[in-house]
Amino acid sequence: MSTHHSGIGMTSQRTRTRMVERLRDMGIADEAVLAAMNFIPRHIFVEEVLASRAYDDVSLPINFGQTISSPFIVARMTELLRAGSDLGKVLEIGSGCGYQTAILARLAREVYSVERIGPLVTRARARLRGLRLPNIYLKHADGLLGLSEAAPFDAIMLTAATTHIPSSLLEQLAIGGRLVFPKGSQEQHLCMLEKSSQGYTETTLGEVRFVPMVPGVQKG
């Protein structure tokens, strides 16, 4: 069965351009982020039966109780992480389907992405390989431990909600770096943590809804 959807109706470039225009209207101002969203085909990261909804501003299921975040949340978190300047080395906790990973890869020098669910890693790797993005390093591991062998990171993004950031991740964030994550359990807010030589500054932003961060590794 073919998984190639390009050019059909809701998955055309025109649909992607409309999504970007909507994101701009919703307040996304970073043109580099908008260009990345315009370049990466979102529909290849969702199940084929959901391809027609790929560019709607909704989160969609991707199996194993996980979701692909809405385009606005992806753009907003990326915009916060970039803060108007080029990204160097980025760590993403929770590769999921690989869409956020691909967006980051268009904007960063290197993207290290960790996913705890084995089959999601396999699928994300196949999709990302098709896009020929050479600066992505995917690993099947417990994201809460980070990736100490590649640290320090200029920026870290968590794509699942947690009530606190583990010390392992804080240690792997470079001085001057920023960490964007959904914070909370029942009630969640988007948070940005900035690290300086004096310590950490945390900014709380709008309300969000993410699946919870889970420790450990799942093979199947």
Tell me what the mean pLDDT of segment 34-56 comes to: 93
The answer to whether the beta carbons of residues 94 and 115 sit under 8 Å apart is yes
Print the SS3 string covering 40-108: CCHHHHCCHHHHHHCCCCCCEECCCCCEECCHHHHHHHHHHHHCCCCEEEEEEECCCCCHHHHHHHCCE
| CB atoms inside a 10 Å sphere around CB 113 | 29
For residue 213, give the DSSP letter.
P
Tell me the pTM. Answer: 0.92
Active-site choice (59, 69, 95, 113): 69
pLDDT above 80: residue 38: yes
Q: Which domains does the chain have, with CATH numbers?
A: 9-208 (3.40.50.150)
> Who wins on pLDDT, 211 or 93?
93
pLDDT of 4 strictly over 70? no
Cα separation, 215 vs 17, whole angstroms: 37
The pLDDT of residue 5: 43
Q: Which pLDDT belongs to residue 40?
A: 95
From the CB of residue 50, how many other CB atoms can be counted at a distance below 10 Å? 16
Residue 185 bears catalytic tag: no
Cα–Cα distance for residue pair 206/141, rounded to 1 Å: 30
Residue 3 is encoded by which pair of tokens?
Answer: 């998984």
pLDDT computed for residue 188 by the predictor: 95
Structure confidence at residue 58 as a pLDDT band (50, 70, 90): very high
Amino acid at 20: V
